Structure 1
Amino acid sequence: MERKLYDAAVQGNKISLLNMLEEDAPLLLDRFITGRYPETPLHVTSMLGHLEFVDEVLARKPELAKEVDSRNSSPLHLASAKGYLKVAKSLHLLAW
């Protein structure tokens, strides 16, 4: 399921995200808070500028905005570095 979620994040496919959340809603996003993964789907989709996907993840699991990846970067760092201002604004409200 995690691989499918990463693929949906890369594509910015909000419909796939919603379908996966229906199947495994209680745990799907919680698994990424454990620090077990080098990056979260929120990192991936933020770096690619998929605003709708970012907003959906943040609405369900806002604490993911504070997670850092294996290089100690937050989703906000990645969106800012790529120049995705709208994504960065959504993340900024929750990252600090």
Structure 2
Amino acid sequence: MKKLTNSEIENKIENLTDWEFYDNALHTDFEFDNFKDCMSAMNRIAFECEALNHHPEWTNVYNTLDILLTTHDAGGVTELDFKLAKAINRIVEVEE
């Protein structure tokens, strides 16, 4: 998978609600009503990650989930990161 240029990333991220590009990765965070809802979302996202064979760097503290996407093999952000980010937004049902 080819690493995208900063210009390509900036163009693509405009169509991706609640994600930012910095430190050579796509970043977002979500706040849920409680820990159970957060863990439920993480489990649903995990199934999509396995299907794509692409896994996020993420942290969870109580009801918050921070996600970082980058393709380590490519040394930066690729189309696969955008594909996973869109799937995550569908799973979490991000409002546009």
Please, what TM-score do these two structures have when normalized by structure 1?
0.24
Decide which structure has greater strand share.
Answer: 2
Decide which structure has greater helix share.
Answer: 1
Please, what TM-score do these two structures have when normalized by structure 2?
0.24
Bigger RCO (CA 8 Å, 6+ sep): 2
